[in-house]
Amino acid sequence: MTATYLETLSAGQTFWRNLAEIPNSDRFRMCIQCGTCSGICPFGKWLEYTPRKTLAALRMDEFEEVLQSNSIWMCVACAACTAACPQQIPTLDLMTRLKEELLLTGNVPAELQLALENSRRYGNPMGESPKKRADWTTRLDTPVPILGKDARSVDVLWYVGDFASYHPEGQSAARAMVKVFQALGVDFGILGPDEVSDGDSQRLAGERGLFEWLAIRNGAQFTRRHFNLIVTTDPHAYNAIKNQYPALDICYPVQHYTEFLYERLDQLQPLLTHEIEAAVAYHDPCYLGRVNHIYEQPRALLKAIPGVRLIELSHQRDNSLCCGGGGGGMWLDGFQWEKAHSRLSEWRIRETVAIKPLEDFLSVVRTLMTKPKSNGKSSLPDTTILAVACPYEKPRFSDAAKVIAPDKGIQVLDIAELLAKAIA
């Protein structure tokens, strides 16, 4: 039997053909091999095939070697390479396609495999009972409306997400969000047990088919409810619903909660009466900042809290440092630790610790230059708060702080938690 043309193609040539489906794929040919992607990659040292080397291997038709390396699983899909590429090459899409290819061959670290299997079996990567997805609401004084499939209409459908639903650190932020919503009088509801994982991290870990299945399940639930807007506390859910679901004909307006609250800042500000006297460093989540360009709204919310002195970390905005949880990183801790003996979250905590002496000094200067407070409280904060806006980050940074800086007074809080504390 004569082989078809496609059957004569090498693995690399087939991969190259498939890359053509990616928007702006013509730019893959424009790689000038400058190495910016390798340099800016936070795990670049351990990534055997960076976007630059992968494109070079494709040009040389030596793609088989790329597929034999498992170092692609060090890629946390932080999109730093894409943001920095002088040729605007969609490098993140290249890395995701590469993960898809490895996943099809079964080259998947065991930790990631379990998370993917759990996502398929339970609709969440943790392997928790789907029936318990809304159990975090039971400790609240005021019940959170779980929208049934009836005709009840709400203004806001809150897509809660996996980590806010199941992880204790995420649940704490979710409960704070309820307080903020209720203080603002927002008419909202959640899907509860009918919600499944947004699938964005599974997609970025190379499981496109699973992502689509999860998206379609969520989409089916969205169509059965009546609401005006989806608000989510999870930047990955935000990214998925905003940028990925429409390709599956799941089209709904969506805002991250920092956008939603920023638009209501005039209403929110008078409610923020409790002072939080602290230096607060804001960590830009990759999929809120670098990928979706939301930088100012979270900062504006933090500045609105009385007592907060917002400070900037050395990696910030489009140069923010990934927490390490994206692209499957939440489920690759052991694999990545074995290779790097380091965590990106620990790197971030070191940055936060590094700014504290300067902030303390500036704080003392400010105190000397202003009239001492009547209550005699020192304005020198005991703690530095690392403010986050993604449910992946709180557990990652909290754990990192416990490991490398247990005595440095670093507290990790979601912006929603800070707002809730400031509301009387």
Partner 1 sequence: MNILVIIKMAPDLVEELSIDASGTALDTQWLRLLPNEFDEFALEQAILLKERVGANVTVVAPQADGIEDALFTAAAKGADHLIELTGEPENLNNHALARAIAALIPALQPTLVLTGVQAHNDLDGQSGALLAGLLDWPYVGYVSGVQIVERKAHVRKEYPGGLLAEIEVDLPAVLGIQASDEPPRYVAFSKVRQAMQSATIEKRDIGVLNCSGGTVISRMFQPEAKGHAKMLTGDTQEVVARLVEILQTSGAV
What's the min distance (Å) between Cβ of 166 and partner 1?
12
The amino acid at 150: D
Residue closer to partner 1 by CB (options 189, 192) is 192
Residue closer to partner 1 by CB (options 30, 110) is 110
d(CA 91, CA 189): 37
Contact predicate 304/332, CB 8 Å: no
What's the min distance (Å) between Cβ of 111 and partner 1?
11
d(CA 176, CA 191): 18
Contact predicate 51/81, CB 8 Å: yes
What's the min distance (Å) between Cβ of 287 and partner 1?
22
Which region, left, alpha or beta, applies to residue 22 given φ > 0 means left and ψ of -120 to 50 means alpha? beta
Which tokens sit at 269?
Answer: 């500000």
What's the min distance (Å) between Cβ of 103 and partner 1?
5
Per CB under 8 A, contacts with partner 1 among 93-132 are 100, 103-104, 106, 108, 110, 113, 116-117, 120-122, 127-129, 131
What's the min distance (Å) between Cβ of 113 and partner 1?
4
Helix (H, G, I), strand (E, B) or coil at 391: coil
Contact predicate 47/72, CB 8 Å: yes
What's the min distance (Å) between Cβ of 148 and partner 1?
18
d(CA 67, CA 105): 9
Q: Binding mask 191-210 vs partner 1 (x if CB under 8 A, - otherwise)?
A: ----------------xxxx
Residue closer to partner 1 by CB (options 329, 381) is 329
Q: Binding mask 346-375 vs partner 1 (x if CB under 8 A, - otherwise)?
A: ------------------------------
Of 28, 68, 73, 16, nearest in space to 327 by CA: 73
d(CA 157, CA 227): 6
| Residue whose tokens read 């969506």 | 254
Residue closer to partner 1 by CB (options 74, 210) is 210
Residue closer to partner 1 by CB (options 67, 176) is 67
Residue closer to partner 1 by CB (options 39, 334) is 334
Size of the site for partner 1 (CB under 8 A): 21
d(CA 322, CA 74): 12
What's the min distance (Å) between Cβ of 72 and partner 1?
15
Q: Which residues bind to partner 1, rule: CB under 8 A?
A: 100, 103-104, 106, 108, 110, 113, 116-117, 120-122, 127-129, 131, 207-210, 213
